[in-house]
């Protein structure tokens, strides 16, 4: 089975899973085009069933999702920008915060107003 994203005006409007032989016969008269996406691709890396990089072909940087952008020049699916302060990483086509996520093992949430990570309150 393969996954395909319906792209209209550069935006993903639908994602389906279909047998490739069926998809070749699939007729869709709605506007837009279908672009194949890989369920196992994230940040330009292909992952195996065990969740570890397996050296496979990383198709279009990221698995498409509804609301993602498809950038034909990069041949990449890009998720929506989570915060205005975050910048697009050209290698992964994911959004990077201006300050890296803390590595102390605690949980944090991004605070856009202060442009910093705030420790998550766990109740």
pLDDT digits (tens, 9 = 90+) for 83-102: 999 999 999 999 999 999 99
Percent of the chain at pLDDT > 90 equals: 85
pTM of the model: 0.88
Tokens of 15: 């994602």
| C-alpha distance from residue 22 to each of 26, 61, 64 (Å) | 6, 25, 20
What span, in angstroms and rounded, lies between the C-alpha atoms of 40 and 51? 9
pLDDT digits (tens, 9 = 90+) for 45-88: 999 999 999 999 999 999 999 999 999 999 999 999 999 999 99
Domain boundaries, the chain: 1-80, 81-123
């Amino acid at each position: 089975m393969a996954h395909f994203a319906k792209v209209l005006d550069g935006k993903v409007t639908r994602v389906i899973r279909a047998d490739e032989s069926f998809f070749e016969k699939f007729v869709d008269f709605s506007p837009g085009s279908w672009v194949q996406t890989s369920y196992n691709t994230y940040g330009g890396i292909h992952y195996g069933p065990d969740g570890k990089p397996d050296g496979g072909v990383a198709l279009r940087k990221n698995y498409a999702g509804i609301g993602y952008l498809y950038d034909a020049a990069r041949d990449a699916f890009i998720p929506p920008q989570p915060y205005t302060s975050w910048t697009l990483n050209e290698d992964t086509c994911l959004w990077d915060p201006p300050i890296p996520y803390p590595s102390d093992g605690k949980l944090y949430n991004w605070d856009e107003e202060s442009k910093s990570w705030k420790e998550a309150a766990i109740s």
